[in-house]
Structure formats: structure tokens, C-alpha cells
Amino acid sequence: MKVAILSMQEVKNYGSFLQAFSLKRNIEALGHTCDFINIVLGRQLEGYEISRFHKIKLLFQRLWGWDFVKRFETIYKFQTRFSKEFLPYLGVKQGENHEHYDVIVIGSDEVFNCAQRTWFGFSPQLFGKGLNADKKITYAASFGATTLDKLQKMSIKEEISELLKQLDCISVRDGNSAEVVKVLTGKDPLRHVDPVLIYDYTQFMPLEIRKDKYMIVYTYPERITNVKEITAIKQFARDKGLKLISIGHYFPWCDEVVVPTPFEVLAYFRDADYIVTDTFHGSIFSIKHNKPFGTIIRTMNNQKLSSLLKQFGLESRIVNDVTCLQSILETPIDYTLVNKQIAEERNQSIKYLSSQLS
């Protein structure tokens, strides 16, 4: 069967790469050929426009500082490696794909998240419009921070409702997305976990990443800026005698920044002593490798992160108050039930893909 995935694989982000890689590999393991379809540019919605000035402003903010050279070098290395190494390895091709497919799988990641500034804007294609396939389904799709109220305010609620009703089967990954789909279609969607949790990357990961003891900070630029948060993270690492490593992005308060391959990222998580993150996939990587971690939840990702941690009974890892960071990180996690649940979710995911692609 000829299958294609429409996801966020073009986004230069480790989580996006790894979830796309997993979904593609799992589909191919079921005996199908699998391509990627690139996102078609949509329209800019009021309040979420992204202009050239906005892009320049963000870049300027990221570069501004006494350590301009180090900031520039990290950004350049990150962007270049993704463009020249990682995305080609994933199999992402430039331009639109007009081929006909037996099935197109939309997802996973925040393919339904309209309430955000992106280079592609609001693309109805991500909801199935114009896709050249006999069957259109989703896998672990997410609305991210987009809620029913936001859809109403953006005047696209009815449009999305009609598009969702035309999909053959809908699978989401979090509670907010399930609620939105239920209201807009009148049907309960299926729930499946992020693809990163259902694939074994061991054969692609280095056996050992480094020998010195370290703690990971996994976040995005302009996210961990609060002085109290930074102080608490640095103090914990210092008390434990750990090097503080940031993955992918430069922060002057970290001891080191690394720009590894996506598979090396997983190895960094596997070998870390502790992890602090405020991202969805940072939490996923930590859970996957059974690591002690703390997750700082932001307004922008509250929906998906709260849903993820609640799903696996890990609400205790939420850092609502940085003064509690030490006690959260030092509290052991019993991963026995978590791993059992992940195994069950993996089986359910493979069954879903197998049945939908038969």
C-alpha cells in the first residue's frame, strides 16, 4: 500500500524529527511504502500573523548579548545541520507532492494547532483539504494550545468542523484535542501516544554519549528566562556536582551547549543524571528513558503537557514552584506501571495503524 505522512517534519525541531521518523518506520514495518508530504502554505489569521519584521525581531532577540558570537555559532550550526543532514536523512523532499496515495496519515504533533504564529499559517490541508488519497486518517494529532473558544474567535470553527467530518478516522494524543474533536464532529476520537514512545531507536543511538556526569536543560529560546528558575536549576546542578548541558540552543547560564543528531539527543537523555524541561518532547524523552525529571509548564503548552503527565500518573513531576525543584528531582519515580502502560499503548497504536492501512 502506498502511504504518505503529513506532519511537522519540516520544522527544525528534534521532537518533530523523531516523531516523524518513528511513524514512518512503523508504517514501513507493516509492509507499506511511505513518503512525506510537505505543508502547503495557508492564510495568516488575525492576531497570529507572522511578518518579515517579526522574524527579524526574533532573530535579533536571540543574538543580542555580550556573547553574540557564541549565540550566532549555535543558531547557525543548528539550522545548518537540520537543513543539510537531518531532514534529508528523514527523507523530506522540497516542494509540493501531487502524487496519489492509498492512505494519507495526518500527524502526529500539533498539526491542528491554528492559534500560533507559524510560517505556514492556517493551512486547511492539515485538516485533510485537497489531499490526493483514497483514505485520510490522523495519528495522535494535537490542537496544542488551540481551544474551542480560540477557534470561535478566529472565525474558523465551522470550517474546521466540516473538514474534520470528512476524515475517515481521527486519532488524537491529548484531552483538549479529544474535546475539540468531539464537539466539532459529534464523535469521540481515538487516543494514541506520541510516536516517539512506540519506536525503539536503540540501533541508531551511540552506545555511550559522554563519561562526565551531567544534567540536561531542554527548552527553546526565550523560554527559561525567569531569574528564580535559572538560579534554582544552576544551584541544583552545582549541589550535585553536575555539568549543566543545554541541547540545541545556547544559554549563557549553562555550562555547555551541544547540537547533536536527533538520535544522539536520545542518548544524551538516556545517560543524563537529571533533566529539567518545559517542553512536550523533553518530557517524552525523559519518560521513555525512565529518568528523574521536572517539567515546568507554560501557558502555551499547558493543555498537552498536563494531559501527557496525567496520562502516565506523573503529575508530581510538574514544577509549579521552583523552590520545589530539588524535592521533585530527588523524588524517585516508580517506572514499573509507566513502562507497562507504554507497552500497552504501543500495542494499541500498532493495531490502529495496521487496521487503518489494511
How far is residue 330 from each of residues 235, 237, 243, 273, 325, measured CA to CA in Å?
14, 12, 17, 11, 9
- Fold identical between 2-50+90-198+343-356 and 203-342? yes
Contacts of 306 (CB under 8 A, 6+ apart): 297, 315, 318
State residue 47's pLDDT score.
81
Nearest-angstrom CA–CA distance, 116 and 49: 9
Strand 293-295 and strand 274-277: pairing?
Answer: parallel
State residue 167's pLDDT score.
98
DSSP 8-state secondary structure symbol assigned to residue 120? T
State residue 92's pLDDT score.
82
State residue 290's pLDDT score.
98
Residue 104, strand partner residues: 4, 136
State residue 179's pLDDT score.
96
Residue 14, strand partner residues: none
Contacts of 324 (CB under 8 A, 6+ apart): none
- DSSP letters of 141-162? B--TT--HHHHHHTT-HHHHHH
Per residue in 38-54, pLDDT (tens digit) is 999 888 888 877 766 66
Edge to edge, the sheet with strand 274-277 lists 256-258, 243-247, 214-218, 274-277, 293-295
Give the pLDDT means over successive 10-residue stretches in the chain (358 positions). 92 94 98 94 82 65 78 93 93 79 94 88 94 97 94 96 98 95 98 97 94 94 91 98 97 96 98 97 98 92 88 95 95 97 98 97
State residue 259's pLDDT score.
97
Q: Give me the CATH topology for the region 203-342.
A: Rossmann fold (3.40.50)
Nearest-angstrom CA–CA distance, 199 and 349: 11
Residue type, 76: Y
Nearest-angstrom CA–CA distance, 141 and 126: 10
Nearest to 272 by CA among 245, 253, 251, 248: 245
Nearest-angstrom CA–CA distance, 358 and 11: 30
Secondary structure in 3-state letters for 212-268: CCEEEEECCCCCCCCHHHHHHHHHHHHHHCCEEEEECCCCCCCCEEECCCHHHHHHH
Kindly state the cell numbers that stand for 114.
Answer: 491554528
Contact 234, 244 (CB under 8 A): yes
Instruction: Give the residue ranges of DSSP H helices in the chain.
Output: 14-29, 52-63, 68-81, 87-90, 148-153, 157-165, 175-185, 227-240, 262-271, 280-288, 302-311, 325-330, 336-356
Residue boundaries of the structural domains of the chain: 2-50+90-198+343-356, 203-342
CATH number, domain 2-50+90-198+343-356:
3.40.50
